[in-house]
Structure 1
């Protein structure tokens, strides 16, 4: 079974990324921490959604699906750090944070993110192209 890409998509960039994954039929799951985000993912057509209570560490269980690369689109420094903290043990593959802020780079790296990409463009196709090339190299 192929690994699932895990995505936190609380902004326009994240939504674009999800739409591109859907168009390309790439297996992925969305991670959310509230009902509003959950409903937004359903509206986008996401079929696999992992709901996390970010305040209750006892609920941070590894999902049953095989988690591969993780893409976290930043809307909140605190939430993004919490997702890194939760998800780092779920995969040995890379965690990529996409942000339009230059400030948190070292924070995210210190928390366990492998890559911090600074981008304010809504088009995220470059992430999928790079991800597909990297996954083909690993086969």
Structure 2
């Protein structure tokens, strides 16, 4: 399972829940700062950094493993769209986007490849497990 937390507390809690249940999880991070925040809040967890450390070209790194389910927690629109496109290229079967936005973003997210768009003010999506 791949999770892009977008540095959201809901995303971090979801990762904790997955780890607590013994599920395999890989967290997508955009930079070293986001990776360190994740480690500080959750502890050691498998991480896939989206870009190489000194990469100026901002070309996403490829994944060498198959992903069945991906969850993208919306932090901001451009980053969320980028994560959706990347995750969709790795796992076209089940791609969930979690948003607290009341704007009609679900059509755009679906157009980018999201299978499901979950609107949640609290961010608690434990029911999908």
Report the TM-score range of the alignment, normalised by the length of the smaller protein.
0.7 to 0.9
Q: How does 1:30-49 map to 2 (within 5 A)?
A: 30-43=27-40, 44-49=42-47
Shift of 1:46: 4.2
How many residue pairs match? The answer is 122
Residues 50/99 of structure 1: CA separation in 2 closer, same or farther (3 Å cut): same
More helix, by proportion = 1
> What are the equivalent positions in structure 2 for 1:48-127 lying under 5 Å apart?
48-53=46-51, 56-57=58-59, 59-61=60-62, 63-103=63-103, 104-127=105-128
**Structure 2: unaligned runs, 5 residues or longer:** none
Within 5 Å, which residues of 2 pair with 1:9-28? 9=5, 10-28=7-25
TM-score, normalised to structure 2, is 0.86
1:8 aligned to which of 4, 8, 13: 4
Structure 1 unmatched ranges of 5 or more: 129-139
2:100·2:123 contact (CA, 8 Å) conserved in 1? no
How far apart in 2 are the matches of 1:79 and 1:46? 24
Question: What's the C-alpha RMSD, in Å, of the aligned pairs?
Answer: 1.7
Tell me the TM-score normalized by structure 1. Answer: 0.80
Query: Where in structure 1 do 4 or more consecutive aligned residues deviate above 4 Å?
Result: none
